Amino acid sequence: MTKSPPRTRIQVRNRAAILEAALEVFAARGFRGATLDRIAQAAGLSKPNLLYYFRSKEALHLAILEDLLELWLAPLREMDAEGEPREQILGYVRRKLEMSRDHPRESRLFANEILQGAPRARPVLEGELKALVDEKAAVIAAWSESGRIGPVDPYHLIFSIWALTQHYADFEVQVRAIMGKTNPYPGAEAWLDHLFGAALGSPHKSI
Amino acid sequence: MTKSPPRTRIQVRNRAAILEAALEVFAARGFRGATLDRIAQAAGLSKPNLLYYFRSKEALHLAILEDLLELWLAPLREMDAEGEPREQILGYVRRKLEMSRDHPRESRLFANEILQGAPRARPVLEGELKALVDEKAAVIAAWSESGRIGPVDPYHLIFSIWALTQHYADFEVQVRAIMGKTNPYPGAEAWLDHLFGAALGSPHKSI
DNA sequence: CGTTAATTTTACCGGGCGGTCAAATCGAAG
DNA sequence: CTTCGATTTGACCGCCCGGTAAAATTAACG
């Protein structure tokens, strides 16, 4: 699939420039809306030159998607079954929100892919992603059953975390249309803390 | 913009068929990914015939968007300042979730538009939508200040409702990849009731 | 400097897509 | 049946886009 590890300095530089440019363009216009000309221009190359580094538009998109999925799943991977449940879940929420704030283009690229029916990412969703979610859902379920957090549906809890955190990146124009120039993230962090905190059962209440 | 009210029976039938087909195709493939040929075929017409009813791809998309936005804002409009706060908010959540369940294509078409930076819908977002949200946010803020619901940020509350309910339509393939063939909506309704119920402050707790 | 491989450019192709046009066909009313 | 507007079709255009071929240029190294 991907070209074997880049050797020369030029390859490293140009591949990085292309991936950066492609992320920008794919995120902003979707797979079909993006053109190789535009990506090449943004990377400071000619189109055939770009195609010297990536066989095809498809291959380029795939390369980005692979990098992206690792980044995307990291915050959930960090959730620790041995940790304090509430802290672990709220920590996950915070990391995921930071991800949206610091990597909105990645979020939108991913959203685009899913919206179109995940033509390229579906195998990963049904394989790696499902396995990870099943594992962490079991952890949350155990926490819930042992009474360390209130009764929650772990799957819908995880979906909620995804939906809420990614919303601020994916629907940014809508958020900005309503909130103006105000930076929504400080407020969002406090709000999500409140929202999920309450849903997990107040620690004060449980005493 | 839009052609003056259709007169003949044929016009009514064909316009409806086109809008239905276009909704399907635009939702599944985005604006650029959709082709007039495909839409025309889905509507049972030839491409030039389709262009007899709608001047351009742009005009067709705009016609759909206009219809859509009315449908989309209806649930929020129904939220009644005179009603019981908790019931009003949870009712809004339920109506919005039903909207996603019954109109997933509309949801995805809208998501596509926003993701691409709302090139066609931005005026509505900054005008009508913002006005409506500001109005309802003020209502919620008043409820909150009078202690009838717990302290909440009305804007983030509304964003949360959007994000969560639409997630089940927009990210359907992801949800299905993880949950399999299970229908997520019954569980989602109970979960969202729990989540927002807790965030608004338990009515039991407030006594 | 010379040689060889890596990189970049120029020119091009075939297909698809939005849109147009003029001719043909259809349908309602007298 | 005729007429006239509404509707439909087929043929076509120009542009853009992904991708290719081959020549030209550049870097690496002895």
Best of A125, A171, A196 to disrupt the B interface (most B CBs within 10 Å) is A171
Average pLDDT, chain A: 94
Q: Please count the CA atoms within 13 angstroms of the CA of A182 that sit on its side-chain side.
A: 13
In sequence order, what are the residues at sequence separation of 6 or more whose Cβ sits closer than 8 angstroms to the Cβ of residue B149? B85, B86, B89, B140, B143, B200, B201
Residue B147 CA to residue B27 CA, distance in Å, equals 42
Q: For A109-129, how does the pLDDT look when each residue is reduced to its tens digit (9 = 90+)?
A: 999 999 999 999 999 999 999
Cβ(B63)–Cβ(B19) below 8 Å: yes
pLDDT at site A10:
87
Nucleotide lying nearest to B8, CA to C1' measure: D6
pLDDT at site A170: 98
Taking the C1' atom of every nucleotide in all shown strands and the CA of B38, the nearest one is C17
The predicted pLDDT at position A207 comes to 32
**How distant is the alpha carbon of residue A198 from its chain centre?**
25
Tens digits of pLDDT across chain B (207 residues):
334 566 688 899 999 999 999 999 999 999 999 999 999 999 999 999 999 999 999 999 999 999 999 999 999 999 999 999 999 999 999 999 999 999 999 999 999 999 999 999 999 999 999 999 999 999 999 999 999 999 999 999 999 999 999 999 999 999 999 999 999 999 999 999 999 999 998 664 433
How many inter-chain contacts (A to B, CB under 8 Å) are there? 160
- Shortest CA to C1' contact from A7: nucleotide: C6
Report residue A201's pLDDT band, with 50, 70 and 90 as the boundaries. confident
The arithmetic mean of pLDDT across residues A176-201, rounded, is 97
Tell me, what amino acid is at B12?
A: V
What pTM was computed for the model? 0.94
Distance B57 CA to C23 C1' (A): 25
Nearest residue to nucleotide D10, by CA–C1' distance, is: B48
Chain A hits for B112, Cβ within 8 Å: 30, 115
Give, in Å, how far the C1' of D13 lies from the CA of A60: 33
Predicted pLDDT of residue A8: 78
CA of A88 to C1' of D30 (A): 60
* CA-based nearest residue in chain A for residue B125: A177
List the structure tokens of B182. 């299970």
Phi and psi torsions of A148, nearest 5°: -75, -25
- Contacts from B147-150 at CB under 8 Å and sequence distance 24+? B147/B206, B148/B85, B148/B86, B149/B85, B149/B86, B149/B89, B149/B200, B149/B201, B150/B199, B150/B200, B150/B201, B150/B206
User: Residues near chain C (nucleic strand), Cβ < 7 A?
Assistant: A 8, 10-11, 14, 45-46, 48-49, 52; B 9, 34-37, 47-48, 51, 55-58
| B46 CA – D3 C1', rounded, Å | 27
